[in-house]
């Protein structure tokens, strides 16, 4: 009897506990079922740099992905080769990507804010081949970005640029992951007087102008992990291509080591009024095939690129109404409107190409666009002449002995490696003399202990970033982008992965404090605060289902 009572009591207790447990589960499920959910946030693929090409960006992509998974998003990180990335993100007709990691180099001509304002963010540059790869469209921004180009009063222009930075920080079309510092090394037994340029370090366009050889072998060997995709100046769209092409092709103006416009193929220029600029072509120049460089070649170079509208140069040539030859040595540029950065940007970017070589190229090659021409034997008038390009191995250049500036090296070899460790080994063995890009922290410390290497440090106005495709869900939602901006651990990127050799990033940070005059120091940017990301999403109507998956707003 006693046993029966105990058994009955135990059964009742189990029944009661089961019932309570069942009630609790039902309540939880009911709470989820009562919540009005939208669709599951689509799976996201981050196209990242390969770890061999950019270890820091690869790590940043994986760090971001880990935080996004905590928010209930399905994320995949897919490392891809650089030129494949460019073709897909910048040149693809269908804009088939979600998120990508890439960077803008801080070449000196980009000290003017137009490149990092109008060229990469104005809606007119959002098409295939344009620099607005995120597809950012914002009417108020477009108005300011266009107006600053025409404002000749520098203080008024600066205020406009400050306002554009506020919009970009709020809209977050991309998140700058870090600002690189150019720490590099060169062989001090073979070369001296190595010039350093803001944003580019050693491997700038001025390197062959000023570097002096110390040995009988006067060929400068530069190591890099980045191959080219083309030798065609009308098809080139990356800094890695232009770092070679600007040595083969001359420009009317080059931006000096100090950031000032300096005569190059032009002996000078005269600003007639706000929309008229006369440029004086340097006399006695020849192309590498021996033909003279004339005012007609200069006019053709601009007309041809205006006609065929290459996406990379679109922002720089768009202000030009017409180009006319005034006389044998004078070319007049008539502008559609006042364009403040015309000398620094347009004249310092557009390559001079030989008319006799290019004017009939489409008919001769049977192609519909000059951008389709392989141009495997490029003919320019720059400081270096082309020898050969062995894909994946090297590019060989020789000094143009007829160039107007005395150059002491006899040539350059751009040698390609699969990873940074190969470059470091090449520096140690003296197979190469320097490198084109910043070193990774481990190699910086290693180089400081090698007697024949000098280590150099240069700041940068460029930036590495995580870009969103605003043309598709969920990145078409500003609050979603703002939430993700709180998931990027900027301090860990710089302190752990760069060991302090870099600057902190931020949401929409397109002009960093190295470009002091144009940088807006008063812009507030999201800090790394994942809990804040969840709060922003919840306030914007995003929900989580019973499996923890993030759902789009129901409405």
Q: According to the model, what pLDDT value does residue 91 have?
A: 87
Average pLDDT over residues 475-489: 98
* Chain centroid, CA 269 distance in Å: 30
Q: According to the model, what pLDDT value does residue 432 have?
A: 99
Instruction: Clarify whether residues 150 and 132 are in a common domain.
Output: yes
Segment among 31-35, 140-144, 549-553 with least mean pLDDT: 31-35
The reply to whether omega before 474 is within 30° of 0 (cis) is yes
Q: According to the model, what pLDDT value does residue 379 have?
A: 99
Instruction: Clarify whether residues 58 and 90 are in a common domain.
Output: yes
129: domain CATH number is: 3.10.105
* Chain centroid, CA 366 distance in Å: 33
Nearest 5 degrees, angle CA 379-CA 380-CA 381? 140
Q: What is the pLDDT of residues 78-108, one digit of tens each?
A: 999 999 999 999 988 889 999 999 999 998 8
Q: Kindly calculate the radius of gyration of the chain based on its CA atoms and give it in whole angstroms.
A: 28
Instruction: Clarify whether residues 3 and 61 are in a common domain.
Output: no
The terminus-to-terminus CA distance of the chain in angstroms comes to 64
Instruction: Clarify whether residues 22 and 154 are in a common domain.
Output: no
pLDDT tier at 313 (50, 70, 90 boundaries)?
confident
Instruction: Clarify whether residues 310 and 190 are in a common domain.
Output: no
Neighbouring C-beta atoms of residue 429, cutoff 10 Å: 8
Instruction: Clarify whether residues 100 and 156 are in a common domain.
Output: yes
Instruction: Clarify whether residues 351 and 441 are in a common domain.
Output: no
Average pLDDT over residues 241-262: 93
Q: What is the pLDDT of residues 264-278, one digit of tens each?
A: 999 999 999 999 999
Instruction: Clarify whether residues 395 and 442 are in a common domain.
Output: yes
Q: Which tops the pLDDT comparison, 313 or 284?
A: 284
419: domain CATH number is: 3.40.190.10
Q: What is the pLDDT of residues 519-531, one digit of tens each?
A: 999 999 999 999 9
Average pLDDT over residues 34-53: 92
Nearest 5 degrees, angle CA 289-CA 292-CA 297? 105
For the chain, give the mean pLDDT: 92
Q: According to the model, what pLDDT value does residue 93 have?
A: 86
Average pLDDT over residues 36-40: 92
Q: According to the model, what pLDDT value does residue 26 have?
A: 43
Instruction: Clarify whether residues 329 and 428 are in a common domain.
Output: no
Q: What is the pLDDT of residues 138-161, one digit of tens each?
A: 999 999 999 999 998 889 999 999
- pLDDT greater than 90 at residue 3: no
Residue 39: inside a domain: no
pLDDT tier at 21 (50, 70, 90 boundaries)?
very low
Q: What is the pLDDT of residues 58-77, one digit of tens each?
A: 999 999 999 999 999 999 99
Helix, strand or coil, per DSSP, at residue 281: strand
Q: According to the model, what pLDDT value does residue 18 have?
A: 41
Count of domains for the chain: 4
Instruction: Clarify whether residues 238 and 378 are in a common domain.
Output: yes
Instruction: Clarify whether residues 162 and 186 are in a common domain.
Output: no
Q: What is the pLDDT of residues 484-518, one digit of tens each?
A: 999 999 999 999 999 999 999 999 999 999 998 99
Instruction: Clarify whether residues 370 and 422 are in a common domain.
Output: no
Tokens 């190591």 correspond to 223
Nearest to 97 by CA among 115, 85, 109: 85
Asked if 50 and 58 count as a contact pair (C-beta separation under 8 A), the reply is yes
- pLDDT greater than 70 at residue 245: yes
Which residue range is the domain that position 3 belongs to? 1-34
The 10 Å CB-count burial string (b at 16+, else e) for 215-225 is eeebbbbbbbb
Q: What is the pLDDT of residues 160-172, one digit of tens each?
A: 999 999 999 999 9
pLDDT tier at 34 (50, 70, 90 boundaries)?
low
Q: Where a domain ends, among 439, 457, 475?
A: 457
Q: Which tops the pLDDT comparison, 130 or 63?
A: 63
Q: According to the model, what pLDDT value does residue 36 have?
A: 82
pLDDT tier at 212 (50, 70, 90 boundaries)?
very high
Q: Which tops the pLDDT comparison, 293 or 34?
A: 293
> Which strand (E) or helix (H) includes residue 396?
strand 394-399
Asked if 438 and 224 count as a contact pair (C-beta separation under 8 A), the reply is no
Asked if 300 and 350 count as a contact pair (C-beta separation under 8 A), the reply is no
Residue percentage of the chain with pLDDT more than 70: 94
The reply to whether omega before 319 is within 30° of 0 (cis) is no
């Amino acid at each position: 009897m006693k046993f029966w009572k105990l058994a009955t009591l135990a059964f009742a207790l189990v029944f009661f506990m089961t019932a309570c447990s069942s009630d609790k589960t039902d309540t939880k499920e009911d709470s989820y079922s009562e919540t009005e959910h939208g669709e599951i946030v689509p799976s996201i693929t981050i196209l990242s740099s390969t770890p061999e090409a950019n270890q820091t960006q690869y790590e940043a992509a994986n760090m971001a992905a880990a935080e996004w998974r905590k928010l209930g998003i399905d994320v995949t990180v897919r490392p891809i080769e650089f030129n494949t990335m460019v073709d897909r993100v910048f040149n693809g007709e269908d804009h088939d990507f979600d998120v990508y990691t890439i960077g803008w180099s801080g070449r000196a001509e980009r000290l003017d804010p137009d490149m990092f304002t109008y060229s990469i963010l104005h809606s007119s540059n959002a098409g295939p081949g344009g620099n607005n790869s995120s597809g950012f469209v914002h009417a108020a921004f477009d108005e300011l970005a266009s107006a600053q180009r025409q404002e000749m009063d520098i203080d008024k222009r600066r205020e406009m640029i400050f306002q554009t930075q506020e919009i970009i920080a709020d809209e977050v079309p991309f998140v700058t992951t870090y600002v690189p510092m150019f720490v590099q090394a060169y062989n001090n037994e073979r070369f001296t007087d190595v010039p350093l340029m803001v944003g580019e370090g050693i491997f700038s366009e001025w390197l062959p102008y000023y570097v002096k050889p110390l040995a009988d072998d006067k060929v400068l060997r530069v190591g890099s992990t980045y191959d080219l995709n083309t030798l065609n100046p009308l098809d080139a769209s990356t800094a890695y291509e232009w770092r070679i092409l600007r040595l083969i092709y001359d420009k009317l103006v080059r931006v000096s080591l100090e950031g000032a416009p300096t005569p190059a193929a032009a002996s000078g220029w005269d600003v007639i009024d706000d929309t008229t600029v006369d440029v004086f072509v340097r006399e006695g120049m020849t192309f590498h095939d021996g033909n003279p460089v004339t005012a007609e070649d200069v006019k053709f170079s601009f007309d041809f690129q205006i006609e065929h509208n290459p996406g990379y140069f679109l922002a720089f040539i768009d202000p030009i109404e017409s180009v006319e030859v005034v006389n044998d040595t004078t070319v007049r540029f008539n502008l559609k409107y006042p364009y403040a950065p015309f000398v620094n940007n347009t004249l310092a970017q557009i390559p001079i190409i030989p008319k006799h070589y290019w004017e009939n190229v489409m008919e001769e090659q049977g192609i519909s666009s000059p951008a389709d021409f392989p141009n495997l034997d490029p003919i320019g008038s720059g400081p270096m002449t082309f020898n050969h390009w062995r894909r994946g191995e090297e590019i060989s250049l020789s000094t143009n002995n007829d160039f107007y500036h005395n150059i002491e090296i006899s040539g350059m070899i751009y040698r390609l490696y699969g990873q940074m460790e190969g470059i470091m080994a090449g520096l140690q063995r003296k197979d190469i003399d320097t490198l084109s890009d910043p070193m990774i922290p481990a190699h910086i410390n290693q180089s400081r202990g090698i007697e024949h290497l000098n280590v150099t440090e240069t700041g940068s106005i460029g930036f590495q970033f995580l870009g969103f495709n605003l043309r598709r869900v969920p990145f078409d939602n500003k609050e979603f982008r703002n939430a993700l901006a709180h998931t990027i651990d900027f301090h860990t990127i710089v302190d752990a992965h760069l060991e302090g050799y870099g600057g902190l990033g931020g949401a929409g940070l397109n002009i960093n404090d190295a470009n002091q005059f144009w940088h807006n120091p008063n812009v507030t940017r999201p800090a790394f605060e994942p809990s804040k990301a969840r709060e922003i999403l919840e306030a914007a109507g995003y929900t989580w289902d019973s499996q923890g998956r993030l759902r789009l707003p129901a409405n």
